[in-house]
Structure 1
């Protein structure tokens, strides 16, 4: 029987350098969304048996659970991989329980790839949180592209944002994300800058104005800006830096695959350049 709890925030612990940041981001989201945190660890596949160094990934004092005992081995057996995963989950749960008082924390120890594990939790979760550098064979972009759940990507350390940039492009995914932002308590307390990168046309101005009005009607403090620029990634990064915005929010891979092939994926570019937490909404 599955112990996956519906509507959870799922913390993916596949990124040794980002474990604490993923947990901090997951707890931040959990407190705002009033949901439990599911700690997900996927045991590496047979082709990925090289020992992964999780020692020192959490700042908690527990001498009985030192993960560095596994890092002296170049390769681990299946039983050692499972034991390493259980130790990691135990430490992560202890860390969360020190900081989450009213919200439940539970573990998901999956004996399959991270991609299959995310697929397992995808449709029943509210949010998936993952570190910027994954150790599995799938790339971060591949994991996000296949997901049907909003995904928060974080660097280390995680800093709780007070402002967010919502990149609105008037496409279907952007409108779907707008609907979600108007309803979710995740961003309710943030000031949202709704930014559109495109030509200064009446169509774009009207679409931006309507999106801004919807956020205001939902009770969200927000500002709107139209940036007349060809380079979407550069424009968003510049605006975010200039206004010291702590969270980037966009649709994930909203362009056609042909456009991505010809001009490159804006999502890929932003994943590679942004230095703040990045919230991606699945393609409509």
Structure 2
């Protein structure tokens, strides 16, 4: 059965990931897996220092260094287990039953681990910054950017202070990517009952009003309360951010990246910019 996977680490974003995971589990009624990956680059490797100048004859020093590496490895594993346990407590406190949650710790590359198991992932939840970028405002962790480019499953980027959204914005441009995202939203229970602002932005929106009207009808036919808006402005990105602020939007939904090279350039640039600058959680659909 497909599951929700929430990536847990030692960054402040882990609390938001827990809140988002609890909300998503209750909306989707799907099993939830808490995942902590100990990257191979962070994991001490066994070192043979017998050939180093001055160390070959100091057996006791080599043994002490090896023991320090082993201790560090054990501490990192124990820290990861503790983080997963605390994350589960946070999520259970938000009403998710313990039998719906499992914990997994892996010694692997995060992207490789997710890609290997993506067939079983219904929704992936990550924070904007991991431990390495926790203090950098609006920085996007390398893991998040790599995962959004690689994984085909929906990805929810949780931000600090996450709460169940009262309204969401869906950026729509009439493209195949946007229509696929539209269908995914319409068919999923994740956002059912949440009012939708369906927004088209750009210089040529007048030509696309029929597409917008058809998209509105499709969502309404699936039970959504829909508000449409066209933002006829040259600069799409600040227009969307202004709309989010003025209408108290609490979640943004958009199609990500695209397939053709031109599409990857246009949509990919927009996706990357929103990863860095969105003031609200971002749901990326492929």
Q: With structure 1 as the length reference, what TM-score do the two structures score?
A: 0.81
Paired residue total = 254
Q: Is the 8 A contact 2:205 2:232 kept in 1?
A: no
Aligned residue number for residue 104 of structure 1 = 100
> CA-to-partner distance for each residue in 1:63-105, whole Å, 9 max, x for gaps?
xxxxxxxxxx999732222111111111212222232344611
Partner Cα separation in structure 2 for residue 97 and residue 39 of structure 1: 12
| Counterpart for residue 152 of structure 2 | 148
Query: 1:84: which partner in 2?
Result: 79
**Alpha-carbon displacement from aligned partner over 1:6-46 (angstroms, at most 9, x marks no partner):** 32111111351111110110110110111121101001223
Q: Which deviates the most, 244-253 or 88-97?
A: 88-97
The alpha-carbon distance between structure 1 residues 206 and 160, as it changes in their structure 2 partners (threshold 3 A), is same
- Cα 1:48–1:210 change in 2 (3 A) is farther
Classify 1:108/1:139 alpha carbon distance in 2 versus 1 (closer, same or farther; 3 Å): closer
CA 76–196 in structure 1, closer or farther in 2 if over 3 Å, else same: farther
- Provide TM-score, normalisation by structure 2: 0.81
Residues 166-215 of structure 1, C-alpha deviations (whole Å, 9 max, x = no match): 00111111111111111111111110000011334564111111001100
* Aligned mates of 2:267, 2:122 — CA distance in 1: 32
SS in 2 for 1:77: helix
- Does 2:25 match 1:30? yes
Larger radius of gyration: 2
The alignment partner of 1:165 has SS state of strand
What is the Cα deviation at residue 110 of structure 1?
Answer: 1.3
Structure-2 change in CA distance of 1:211 and 1:193 (3 Å) = same
Residues 1-284 of structure 1 aligned to structure 2 (within 5 Å) = 6-14=1-9, 16-47=11-42, 77-102=72-97, 104-135=100-131, 138-200=142-204, 203-254=207-258, 256-258=260-262, 265-282=269-286
Q: Which moved more, 1:197-206 or 1:244-253?
A: 197-206
Deviates more, 1:264-273 or 1:218-227: 264-273
CA contact (8 A) 2:124 2:155 kept: yes
> What's the counterpart of residue 65 of structure 1?
none
Shift of 1:114: 1.5
Q: What is the rounded CA distance, in whole Å, between the counterparts of 2:267 and 2:173 in structure 1?
A: 17
Could you tell me which residue of structure 1 aligns to residue 51 of structure 2? none
Cα gap change, 1:262/1:99 in structure 2, threshold over 3 Å: closer, same or farther?
Answer: closer
Structure 2: runs of 5 or more not aligned: 45-67, 133-140
TM-aligned CA distance change 1:260 to 1:168, over 3 Å: same
